[in-house]
Chain A
Amino acid sequence: MEKIQNNKAWFMVLPVLLIVALNAVVPLMTVVNYSVQDTFGNNVFFFEGTRWFNEVLASDRFHGALMRQFFFTFTILAIEIPLGVAIALAMPRSGFWASVCLVLMALPLLIPWNVVGAMWNIYALPDIGLLGFGLNWLGIPFDYTQQPVSAWFTVIMMDVWHWTSLVVLLAYAGLQSIDENYYRAAQIDGASRWAVFRYIQLPKMKHVLTIAILLRFMDSFMIYTEPFVLTGGGPGNTTTVLSIDLVKAALGEFNLGIASAMSIIYFLMTLLVCWLFYTITMQGEKQ
């Protein structure tokens, strides 16, 4: 759509700008402020320059958390995106059963995150939880409070449970936008099921899948509540992802300088990845 040049439109954006700035800029300044200072209490601060940044970037602890974060994010993306697309493809296109599917699938998305954590905490308990008990009954030794592998398995299963529906809904919305005649033409052209997916469905879903990948990347990168309630980052620190480590540093150890420097590095990384992804897909779109 052709848009009109009108700088007065700023006035319409102003309220949003103010309220978001209050929430974003002031806390961000606080974080930046902490990240370059040190304190011994009594509100006395010393300027430390980039000391905290150097310390964070050199620490094994940060590297560990970062590696675990990437492992987590890429694993859940690799499972949730293909699975979500497959489910959306298999769903009825309209009618009563489509509604039933949508309502039931959306349910996990509206459960408070700490309840999701608590629910899986109970569900995976080796003695009284269905999942934990079931796996042990099958002869697979499973105890997420003791074994790192079990803990990872549970955290990833929980995220797949919690968020695959988002991908399903987005992919489904993309599929709904395809005109019936595309399928008819493909049938007349003798296209195989795979060709229909590759040349009709996938291109039409590209846009919504971009949104899905972006949202899942951002949200999994900032995940905190669910794994914290489920495993508390344990056993040991085997499932300690970035946010959990950050809150440990800030509130557990009250190490504000380190925590703030971590926050900023962490925030910049998210921003960079999203920006790259955004620019690349936008470029692709223009061509």
Chain B
Amino acid sequence: MAQITLDQLAHSYMPNPRSEADFALKQIDHVWEDGGAYALLGPSGCGKTTLLNIISGLLVPSRGRILFDDQDVTALAPEQRNIAQVFQFPVIYDTMTVAENLAFPLANRKVPKDEIEKRVKDTIAMLDLGDKARRRAKGLTADEKQKISLGRGLVRYDVNAILFDEPLTVIDPHMKWQLRTQLKELHHKFGHTMIYVTHDQTEALTFADKVVVMYEGEVVQIGTPEELFDEPAHTFVGYFIGSPGMNVLPCQVEGDRLRLGAQELVLQRRYPQLEGTVEMGVRPEFVGLSANGDGLPITVSAVEDIGRFKIVRARIEGRNFDAVLPEGTEVPANATAVIDPRRINIYQDSHLVRGEA
């Protein structure tokens, strides 16, 4: 097990990248702490799989270094880095039994026979595959196959990290939950460093202690699920995390005053003079509706009743604006939106600006 350091890492698939846009992965400096459970979250094509393959050694980065503890592993091949990786589609060796599949990485590393036997037995018990051990791996279900892929990593007790590349994509919904729970248990029990790539925010938020959000080849925020929810560092994080996503509206800020159309609100913090595009963001959970006209005039276009709460889809000056209301709340006829000023974040050119208290 190891701490993984990314030192000024960047990657381009082109041989001679010229501009920033040629980089599939823009410069990143980050330390993955030993024993942490991380999720790499972002839409398709944001560079998260590229980053994962650089960590596992399947790709050599165009720039920067990667360190496992204090050892520079940038030039090492995957098998020398001692990591495990689980892919989107389960990779199993069809002609082998479940037990042989699990023994394979150990046999390749010339581990003594009785040691292999012992570890395979432990791993099979750990993954609840006891009754299938002597079966050919070919006929198993997708989730069992994915367990075997994971098992080939777990069977090597000393792996530096276990990497997951959207491992639950082909798993049935009810098995997804079960497998994810099992993963968390294994993490608590053995404390491997785990990095989990996904584009599904629920998966990321339930699995990880810390979520790394990527957007267009850049890491836009690293934080706990709460931090991502309360203080998105980038408007993209606001949109991407939470359902529905954060409301973002253009506005003007002067000191602790926020001007939004004809409305003026008093903020909790004071802001310096802001240049460029200035926007405010607020989560729909912190928007209320009022019938007596004190707030922003909105046009309600739809109300979705999800059971435990209602989502009100509305528009303000041609922009979408959502509100989440508790169950049973009535939507007034000429509703206006009341925003909780403590929950407003201010963005300059899409990046969060923190004011002074």
CB within 8 Å of B: which residues of A?
179, 181-182, 184-185, 187-192, 195, 199-200, 203, 287
> With a CB–CB cut-off of 8 A, which chain B residues contact A190?
79, 105, 108-109
- B230 CB, min distance to chain A CBs, angstroms: 37
Contacts of A200 in B (CB 8 A): 93
B93 touches A184 (CB 8 A): no
Asked whether B79 lies within 8 Å of A199 as measured between CB atoms, the reply is no
| B149 adjacent to chain A (CB < 8 Å) | yes
- Give the residue of B56, B89, B93, B95 whose beta carbon is less than 8 angstroms from that of A188: B56
- How many residue pairs link A and B with beta carbons under 8 A? The number is 52
Q: Do B58 and A187 touch across chains, with their CB atoms under 8 A apart?
A: yes
Q: Tell me which residues across on chain B come within 8 A of A199, comparing CB atoms.
A: 93, 95-96, 104
Are A203 and B104 neighbours in the complex by a CB distance under 8 Å? no
Among A182, A184, A188, A192, the one with the most B-chain Cβ atoms within 10 Å of its Cβ is A188
A185 to B152, CA, bound (A): 10
B290 at the interface (CB under 8 A from A): no
Neighbouring A residues of B126 by C-beta, 8 Å? none
Q: CA of A179 to CA of B136 in the docked complex: distance in angstroms?
A: 20
Is the CB of B350 closer than 8 A to any CB of chain A?
no
Residues of A within 8 A of B56 (CB): 184, 188
Let me know if B77 and A189 touch, CB within 8 A. Answer: no
Contact status of A185 and B91, CB under 8 A, knowing A190-B79, A190-B108, A190-B109: yes
Q: Determine the chain B residues whose CB is within 8 A of the CB of A184 once the complex forms.
A: 56, 58, 78, 85, 87, 91
Beyond A181-B89, A182-B91, is A188–B104 a contact (Cβ under 8 Å)? Answer: no
Q: B136 and A287: CB pair below 8 A?
A: yes
Q: Which residue from B58, B104, B136 sits with its C-beta under 8 Å from A189?
A: B104
Which residues of chain B have C-beta atoms less than 8 A from A185's C-beta? 85, 87, 91, 149, 152
A-B contact pairs, 26 of them (CB 8 A): A182-B91, A184-B58, A184-B85, A184-B87, A184-B91, A185-B85, A185-B149, A187-B79, A188-B78, A188-B79, A188-B83, A188-B85, A189-B79, A189-B104, A189-B152, A190-B79, A190-B108, A190-B109, A191-B104, A191-B108, A192-B108, A195-B104, A195-B108, A199-B95, A199-B104, A203-B95
- Look across to chain B and name the residue whose beta carbon is closest to the beta carbon of A192: B108
Report whether A187 and B96 are in contact in the complex, using a CB–CB cutoff of 8 Å: no
- CB atoms of A187 and B78 under 8 A apart: yes
Minimum Cβ distance to chain A for residue B61 (Å): 17
> B241 within 8 Å of A by Cβ?
no
Alpha-carbon distance A182/B58, docked complex (angstroms): 12
Contacts of A191 in B (CB 8 A): 104, 108
Known contacts A191-B108, A203-B95, then 13 further A-B pairs from the complex at CB < 8 Å, ordered by chain A residue: A179-B91, A181-B89, A182-B91, A188-B79, A188-B85, A188-B105, A189-B104, A189-B152, A191-B104, A195-B104, A199-B93, A200-B93, A287-B136
Task: Please indicate which of the listed interface residues A181, A182, A187, A190 has the most CB atoms of chain B within 10 Å of its own CB.
Answer: A190
